[in-house]
């Protein structure tokens, strides 16, 4: 069983290397690293004189679902959004990190749109990226 993902370890190693090479910059400061996967995210905390720590969420879990649910002006994140996903899939965009920096014609975005994504991505001219319309409102990941 893998305890840490390789990308999280490489991020933590980079943060640790930066903290040792630039000591005046990070003197007694903490560094937070975020590993954005396609479905989950993890957060690591590096502090001076402390081992690397994987931060837990409100539900005491090390990984958090990467989704948000928009419902009548309210927003639900992570496990809360996941628990409502079966009832309101049209209001719950997931895997938004896959769309970061890509337009609606990118092959990865097309696969999401064609296979299992309940919301059709469009292009936002102003922000030059993918736009999702959820419940009549536009959101750009």
pLDDT of residue 141: 67
- The answer to whether the CB of 119 falls within 8 A of the CB of 96 is no
pLDDT of residue 70: 86
- 90 and 129 both lie in a single domain: yes
The whole-chain average pLDDT of the chain stands at 78
Q: Give the count of domains, the chain.
A: 2
- 38 and 100 both lie in a single domain: no
pLDDT in tens, 32-43: 999 988 789 999
Mean pLDDT of 132-141: 78
pTM over cut 0.75:
no
Sign, Cα dihedral of 89, 92, 94, 96: positive
Q: Which carries the bigger pLDDT value, residue 113 or residue 85? A: 85
In this predicted structure, the answer to whether residue 45 has a pLDDT above a threshold of 70 is yes
Mean pLDDT of 55-80: 89
Other C-beta atoms lying within 10 Å of the C-beta of residue 67: 21
- 75 and 108 both lie in a single domain: yes
- Of 125, 66, 126, 129, residue with least CA distance to 99: 129
The values of phi and psi at residue 110, to 5°, are: -65, -40
In a domain, 62, yes or no: no
Both ends of the chain: CA-CA distance in Å?
A: 32
pLDDT in tens, 86-101: 898 888 877 778 887 7
**48 pLDDT tier (thresholds 50, 70, 90):** confident
- 103 and 131 both lie in a single domain: yes
In a domain, 1, yes or no: no
pLDDT of residue 93: 78
């Amino acid at each position: 069983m893998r305890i840490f993902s390789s990308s999280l370890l490489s991020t933590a190693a980079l943060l640790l290397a930066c903290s040792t090479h630039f000591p005046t910059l990070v003197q007694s400061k903490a560094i937070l690293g975020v590993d954005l996967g396609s479905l989950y995210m993890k957060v690591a905390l590096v502090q001076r004189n402390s081992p690397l720590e994987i931060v837990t969420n409100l539900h005491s879990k090390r990984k958090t679902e990467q989704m948000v649910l928009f419902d009548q002006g309210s927003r639900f994140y992570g496990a809360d959004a996941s628990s409502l996903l079966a009832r309101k899939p049209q209001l719950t965009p997931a895997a938004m990190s896959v769309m970061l920096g890509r337009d609606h014609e990118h092959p990865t975005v097309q696969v999401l749109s064609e296979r299992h994504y309940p919301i059709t991505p469009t292009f936002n001219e102003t922000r030059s990226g993918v736009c999702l319309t959820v419940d009549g409102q536009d959101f750009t990941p």
